[in-house]
């Protein structure tokens, strides 16, 4: 089948999976040229095999809440592709989680991991369990229940989970503890672990810092200095807060942060002290961003996303499809000249089209947010060596990897008119490595 036949076929077979189909369509739309140059891909039905996950685990998790009530959730692990290395990807706990969302994330992860220069295949897992308002003991019991089923399908050289929305160091710790108990091994089959038991320095910072390093590479191509630039960030979780931290250290102004209830708008830019408040609010008290506005008396945009606030640069770092076509129009009308995605697929296809049409610097998540999984790969390397590297060493490697990903985007994404289409660049570079590996390994 050729690429468009694959898309129609997937639409027919998986009609209730819009996010998955959206991600597939975006990638296949941009690899057509290279695909047509390789007739052997069609002969081996490579695209269809690459789009459909190798396997999907889907199961019920039962756990007991603090009031003694027995609760159930749906849980999943998608092992998408392991042509270039063990399955690798995060775990998401959020009420919105379903098969379509995890399939899109595992598909994206395969191309992202291919770009990192490291040997990692693509996977994603999660549950529609919502950590919001749950006690620490409830979180622990849920994590243990999830792993009591999943543990037999993962392993240090098989499938290595990590964090994502709703899953941070606390949840990884509980899941890894249960995994170790069940599997009777201590080989580091999770990344994002605590520093005391095999975690890598800089893993918490990696996605946000990596996104800023990618942005700096993009700005350099146009000779733009980050200093003093107004950056709108969405989200206030792991990716958003470390993006903000790196930006502040470089003299940029972080003018917004948000959560699913609203946005704080600070036109003069938040201070380091205010950012520390957000870290504590989110990680210790697990509070809402509205409380920041109450503390500092800034503007709070209830129920709104940040994109109406005039900015130079947008760094969406919350969730998928959080910038639609109208938001893109507003950003562009306000003079935004760069968008670098911390979240996975935060821009709808309409928004992506508008950014590229407007010839702004636009980095898709699979390139810009690859720093997180890259440092996960470095955590796996350290665990294999039974060594821990210094923060400086990990940060140096992270900078090098982000530079390399940026170079690949330039190589495959440069257009005749000189504009770099980072979507095309990232998709082709990511695809070609996986495609070559799959061709070499035969029909599986």
Return the active site residues.
Answer: 124
Q: Which residue from 360, 347, 364 is spatially nearest to 305, judged by alpha carbons? A: 347
- Residue from 344, 348, 374, 382 in contact with ligand NDP (CB under 6 A): 344
Which listed option, ligand 2IT, ligand NDP, none, makes contact with residue 118 (CB within 5 to 8 Å by class)?
none
Phi-psi map region of 292: left, alpha, beta (phi>0 left; psi -120 to 50 alpha)? alpha
- Residue from 53, 85, 89, 188 in contact with ligand 2IT (CB under 6 A): 89
- Residue from 81, 82, 110, 317 in contact with ligand NDP (CB under 6 A): 317
Buried b (16+ CB within 10 A) or exposed e, 10-24: beeebeebebbbbbb
Please answer whether residues 151 and 75 qualify as being in contact, where contact means their C-beta atoms are separated by less than 8 angstroms: no
Which listed option, ligand 2IT, ligand NDP, none, makes contact with residue 89 (CB within 5 to 8 Å by class)?
ligand 2IT
* 344 contacts ligand 2IT (rule: CB under 6 A): yes
Q: How far apart are CA 378 and CA 203, in angstroms?
A: 9
> What is the 8-class DSSP label of residue 157?
T
- Judged by CB under 6 A, the stretch of 82-90, 291-299, 300-308, 319-327 that binds ligand 2IT is 82-90
Which listed option, ligand 2IT, ligand NDP, none, makes contact with residue 318 (CB within 5 to 8 Å by class)?
ligand NDP
* 318 contacts ligand NDP (rule: CB under 6 A): yes
Q: How far apart are CA 64 and CA 240, in angstroms?
A: 32
Output helix, strand, coil percentages for the chain, rounded to the nearest 5: 50, 15, 30
- Residue from 77, 80, 88, 230 in contact with ligand 2IT (CB under 6 A): 88
Minimum gap (Å) between residue 105 Cβ and ligand 2IT:
6
- List, in sequence order, every residue forming a beta bridge with 420; answer none if it has no partner: 414
* 82 contacts ligand 2IT (rule: CB under 6 A): no
Q: How far apart are CA 343 and CA 329, in angstroms?
A: 20
Q: Quick one: 3 or 244, whose CB is closer to ligand NDP? A: 244
Please answer whether residues 141 and 179 qualify as being in contact, where contact means their C-beta atoms are separated by less than 8 angstroms: no
Of residues 345 through 374, those in contact with ligand NDP by CB under 6 A are: 369, 372
Full DSSP string of 183-250: HT--S--SSS--GGGTPPTTHHHHHHHHHHHHHHHHHHHTT---TT-EEEE---SHHHHHHHHHHHHT
> What is the 8-class DSSP label of residue 52?
S
Minimum gap (Å) between residue 126 Cβ and ligand NDP:
10
Q: How far apart are CA 191 and CA 393, in angstroms?
A: 18
Of residues 362 through 421, those in contact with ligand 2IT by CB under 6 A are: 372-373, 376
Binding mask 70-109 for ligand NDP (x = CB under 6 A): ------------------------x-x-------------
Minimum gap (Å) between residue 367 Cβ and ligand NDP:
11
Q: Quick one: 88 or 94, whose CB is closer to ligand 2IT? A: 88
- Residue from 110, 127, 207, 340 in contact with ligand NDP (CB under 6 A): 207
Alpha-helical (H) ranges within 37-168 are: 39-43, 46-51, 99-115, 136-150
- Residue from 53, 85, 86, 90 in contact with ligand 2IT (CB under 6 A): 90
Minimum gap (Å) between residue 124 Cβ and ligand 2IT:
7
Q: Which residue from 295, 351, 315 is spatially nearest to 243, judged by alpha carbons? A: 315
Q: Quick one: 20 or 41, whose CB is closer to ligand 2IT? A: 20
- Residue from 81, 110, 114, 238 in contact with ligand NDP (CB under 6 A): 238
Which listed option, ligand NDP, ligand 2IT, none, makes contact with residue 88 (CB within 5 to 8 Å by class)?
ligand 2IT
Which listed option, ligand NDP, ligand 2IT, none, makes contact with residue 319 (CB within 5 to 8 Å by class)?
ligand NDP
For 313, counting Cβ atoms within 10 Å of its Cβ (0-12 exposed, 13-18 middle, 19+ buried), the class is buried
Q: How far apart are CA 381 and CA 117, in angstroms?
A: 13
For 75, counting Cβ atoms within 10 Å of its Cβ (0-12 exposed, 13-18 middle, 19+ buried), the class is buried
Residue position matching structure tokens 């990232």: 426
Q: How far apart are CA 64 and CA 392, in angstroms?
A: 43
- Judged by CB under 6 A, the stretch of 115-123, 271-279, 313-321, 418-426 that binds ligand NDP is 313-321
Which listed option, ligand NDP, ligand 2IT, none, makes contact with residue 259 (CB within 5 to 8 Å by class)?
ligand NDP
Minimum gap (Å) between residue 34 Cβ and ligand 2IT:
24
CB pairs under 8 A, 24+ apart, for 221-227?
A: 221/361, 221/410, 221/420, 222/361, 224/337, 224/338, 226/250, 226/251, 226/252, 227/251, 227/252
Residues that bind ligand NDP (CB under 6 A): 94, 96, 163-166, 168, 207, 235-240, 259-261, 317-319, 342-344, 369, 372
Residues that bind ligand 2IT (CB under 6 A): 88-90, 109, 112, 162, 164, 191, 344, 372-373, 376
């Amino acid at each position: 089948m050729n690429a468009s036949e694959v898309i129609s076929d997937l639409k027919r077979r998986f009609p209730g999976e819009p996010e998955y189909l959206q991600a597939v369509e975006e990638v296949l739309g941009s690899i057509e040229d290279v695909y047509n140059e390789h007739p052997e891909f069609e002969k081996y039905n490579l695209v269809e095999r690459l789009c459909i996950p190798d396997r999907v685990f889907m199961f019920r998790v039962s756990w007991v809440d603090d009031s003694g009530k027995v609760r159930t959730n749906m849980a999943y692990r998608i092992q998408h592709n392991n042509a270039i290395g063990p399955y690798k990807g995060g775990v998401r706990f959020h009420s919105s989680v379903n098969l379509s969302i995890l399939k899109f994330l595992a598909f994206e992860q395969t191309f992202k991991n291919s770009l990192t220069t490291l040997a990692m295949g693509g996977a994603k897992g999660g549950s529609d369990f919502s950590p919001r308002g749950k006690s620490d003991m409830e979180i622990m019991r849920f994590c243990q229940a999830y792993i009591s089923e999943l543990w037999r399908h993962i392993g240090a050289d098989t499938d290595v989970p990590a964090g994502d929305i709703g899953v941070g160091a606390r949840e990884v710790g509980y899941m890894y503890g249960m995994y170790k108990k069940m599997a009777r091994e201590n080989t580091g089959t999770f990344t994002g672990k605590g520093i005391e038991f095999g975690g890598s320095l800089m893993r918490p910072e990696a996605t946000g810092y990596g996104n800023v390093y990618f942005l700096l590479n993009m700005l350099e191509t146009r000779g733009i200095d980050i200093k003093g630039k107004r950056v709108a960030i969405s989200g206030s979780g792991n990716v958003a807060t470390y993006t903000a931290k790196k930006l502040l250290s470089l003299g940029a102004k972080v003018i917004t942060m948000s959560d699913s209830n609203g946005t704080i708008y600070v036109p003069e830019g938040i201070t380091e002290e205010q950012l520390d408040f957000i870290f504590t609010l989110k990680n210790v008290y697990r509070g809402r961003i509205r409380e920041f506005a109450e503390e500092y008396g800034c503007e709070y945009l209830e129920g709104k996303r940040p994109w109406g606030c005039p900015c130079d640069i947008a760094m969406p770092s919350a969730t998928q499809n959080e910038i639609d076509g109208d938001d893109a129009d507003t950003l562009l009308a306000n003079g935004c000249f760069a968008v670098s995605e911390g979240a996975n697929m935060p821009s709808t296809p309409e928004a992506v089209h508008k950014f590229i049409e407007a010839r702004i610097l636009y980095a898709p998540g699979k390139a810009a947010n690859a720093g997180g999984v890259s440092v996960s790969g470095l955590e796996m390397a350290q665990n294999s060596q039974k060594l821990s590297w210094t923060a400086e060493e990990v940060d140096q490697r992270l900078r090098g990897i982000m530079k390399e990903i940026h170079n690949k985007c330039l190589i495959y994404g440069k257009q005749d008119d000189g504009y770099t289409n980072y979507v095309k660049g990232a998709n082709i570079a990511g695809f070609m490595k996986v495609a070559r590996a799959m061709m070499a390994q035969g029909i599986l």
